[in-house]
Structures are given as structure tokens and as C-alpha cells.
């Protein structure tokens, strides 16, 4: 979603679901379940959707599968909310090609993760994103997640990239609030800072952030969207109540690597089959009570 800043620019905000990719028992994309999941998310009031990110298991999908998933999401959304397609890679040329494919599939925005494994220096990260930004007219949301990539995108790097015309936001999952505050303090007026950690949505938005790209909203889209709306409206009492209701699920959603708990939760809710692609495996049995209990507390079961 966007709003208008004081200088007339558009700022991206809201709660977006980092969407899981449902698979059939044979391991193919479950197109029916995906379409129904998208329809439910929109009906529940989600502000935007983010297919083909790490939660969507893009690492084990072919580019053609990613394009098909995005096209299904775009078709079911039918213009009601933005579709922010994951198109990241640690190979800049591949990220550029994926960006083109996601645009052709109808994505309205791109999510571009900082390069993983290669561990480029900060100037390499800047060069990577600059090349991608120059290759597309789509708005880009940067994604900093050191726990997955092996390197941190420093605040000065994010701020340098924020000057590019079509780099509109960052999904910050470093967990470093000092870094987040530096970005918030020095960002351009129309540049958004989104939490990449569900449990930090409240403090990040209280400090001036603009929303979250959420894992937990796979199972609780209405509650997470309301949390962001309360924070945007400065309704701190309402936000704290929702945060406390969701906090057990925010914890349980990461008892094992994402998206294993999220897929288990959606399977408990009867929305998808609990199928993942190797090397990911279904949630361990001894974690199921915690997930089920957290969903019950949140009112999802």
C-alpha cells in the first residue's frame, strides 16, 4: 500500500505476507491451494503479498515455477493489493533475469535480497543492487537478512541505495535496532522501512517504521494487518493488545527454520498440505503442541 508524503511522494506501508508456496504430495506447486490461500489473505485484509521469497522456498524452485506462482498470485489478487515478487539471487545476472520474468508475470514490485554466500563488500552490495535497479522500472524493496545471507547490509549502504529512484523500501531483518534507527533518521522522506522480524514490528513502527513483511500472517493475516493499522494510527493500547495476543505464535513460528512451522500451522488449519522440498522437512512432532497452542491463543484454531 502507499500513502502520500508531505513532499508529494509515495511511501510504501502495511503488512505483507511472505507467502508460503503450497506443494502437492508429489512435490509440484499446488495451484488450487495457492489460489485459495491468496483469496483468503486478501479477504482477511492483508495489505500486500510477497510470493517467492525465502518463506516461499524459492531456493528450491525453478525460475519457471517462480514465474508461474507469481502469475497465479497476480491473477487471484486482481489488482486489489500489490504483489511484491521475490527475485533475488547472489548472481547479479540471474537476479536481473528473474526480475524481468517476475515483471512479465505481473508483479507490481520486486523484493531483492542482499547477496548470500558470496559475502561481497558493501561496495559490491551497492553495485549489485544498482545493476538490478537500472535493469527494471519496477519499484524495488531491499531485503537485509544477515542470518540467511552471511553478511550485513550496513545502514550507510541502505541509505546510499535509497537514493536510487526505484528503490523504495528496505525489509530490515538484521535485528539491530541501532542500525534501524540510523536508517529511519537519515532516509529520504519517501523511503519506507519495513520490519523483517514479526516480533519487532511494534518497536520498529513505534520508532517510525512503516510496516512488516510477515511470516506469521500466513496463518493470522487479519490480526497482523490490524496490528500494523493500530501502530500507523498511533493506537498503542490496541497495538500492544494485538502484539501480546500474537506473541506466542510469533515465537512458535520460528521453533524450527521458516517456513516449516508456518506450513505446519496452515496444514493444521486445513489450508494446505504439509509438504516441503528437501532439504527442508516437516515440523518435528515435538514442536506441534507449541504451534497448535499458539494458534489457539491467537484465535486461528
Q: Are 13 and 168 within 8 A, CB to CB?
A: no
Q: Are 17 and 218 in contact (CB under 8 A)?
A: yes
Coil, strand or helix at 15: strand
Return the C-alpha cell found at 10: 509515495
C-alpha cell of 234?
A: 498511533
Distances (CA, A) of 174 to 123, 149, 155, 207: 19, 11, 10, 16
Residue from 117, 119, 171, 263 carrying the catalytic annotation:
171
Q: Which residues pair with 141 in a beta bridge?
A: 111, 169
| Cβ-contact 203, 177 below 8 angstroms | yes
Question: Which residues have C-beta within 8 Å of that of residue 266, sequence separation ≥ 6?
Answer: 20, 22, 37, 218, 219, 272, 274
DSSP 8-state symbol, 286:
G
Backbone dihedral angles phi then psi of residue 208, each to the nearest 5 degrees: 120, 5
119 is catalytic: no
- In this structure, the dihedral spanned by the alpha carbons of residues 28, 271, 223 and 72, taken in order and rounded to 10 degrees, is 40
Q: Identify whether the C-beta of residue 37 lies closer than 8 Å to the C-beta of residue 234.
A: no
Q: How far apart are CA 38 and CA 32, in angstroms?
A: 10
Active site residue 143: yes
- Beta-strand runs (E) in 19-82: 48-50
- Residues carrying an active site annotation: 143, 171
Amino acid at each position: 500500500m502507499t500513502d502520500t508524503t508531505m513532499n508529494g511522494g509515495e511511501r510504501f506501508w502495511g503488512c505483507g505476507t511472505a507467502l508460503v508456496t503450497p506443494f502437492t504430495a508429489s512435490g509440484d506447486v499446488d495451484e488450487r491451494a495457492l489460489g485459495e490461500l491468496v483469496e483468503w489473505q486478501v479477504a482477511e485484509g492483508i495489505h500486500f503479498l510477497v510470493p517467492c521469497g525465502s518463506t516461499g522456498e524459492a531456493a528450491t524452485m525453478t525460475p519457471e515455477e517462480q514465474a508461474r506462482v507469481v502469475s497465479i498470485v497476480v491473477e487471484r489478487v486482481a489488482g486489489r493489493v500489490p504483489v511484491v515478487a521475490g527475485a533475488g539471487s547472489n548472481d547479479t545476472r540471474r537476479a536481473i533475469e528473474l526480475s524481468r520474468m517476475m515483471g512479465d508475470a505481473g508483479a507490481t514490485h520486486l523484493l531483492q535480497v542482499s547477496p548470500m554466500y558470496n559475502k561481497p563488500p558493501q561496495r559490491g552490495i551497492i553495485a549489485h543492487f544498482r545493476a538490478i535497479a537500472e535493469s527494471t522500472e519496477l519499484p524495488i524493496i531491499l531485503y537485509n537478512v544477515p542470518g540467511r545471507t552471511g553478511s550485513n547490509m550496513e545502514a550507510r549502504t541502505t541509505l546510499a541505495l535509497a537514493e536510487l529512484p526505484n528503490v523504495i523500501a528496505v525489509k530490515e531483518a538484521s535485528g539491530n535496532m541501532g542500525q534501524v534507527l540510523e536508517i529511519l533518521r537519515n532516509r529520504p522522506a519517501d523511503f519506507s522501512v519495513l520490519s523483517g522480524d514479526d516480533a519487532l514490528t511494534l518497536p520498529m513502527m513505534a520508532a517510525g517504521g512503516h510496516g512488516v513483511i510477515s511470516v506469521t500472517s500466513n496463518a493470522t493475516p487479519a490480526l497482523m494487518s490490524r496490528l500494523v493499522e493500530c501502530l500507523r494510527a498511533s493506537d498503542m493500547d490496541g497495538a500492544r493488545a494485538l502484539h501480546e495476543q500474537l506473541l506466542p505464535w510469533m515465537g512458535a513460528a520460528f521453533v524450527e527454520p521458516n517456513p516449516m512451522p508456518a506450513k505446519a500451522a496452515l496444514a493444521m488449519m486445513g489450508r494446505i498440505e504439509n509438504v516441503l522440498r528437501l532439504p527442508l522437512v516437516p515440523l518435528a512432532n515435538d514442536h506441534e503442541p507449541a504451534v497448535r497452542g499458539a494458534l489457539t491463543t491467537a484465535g486461528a484454531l
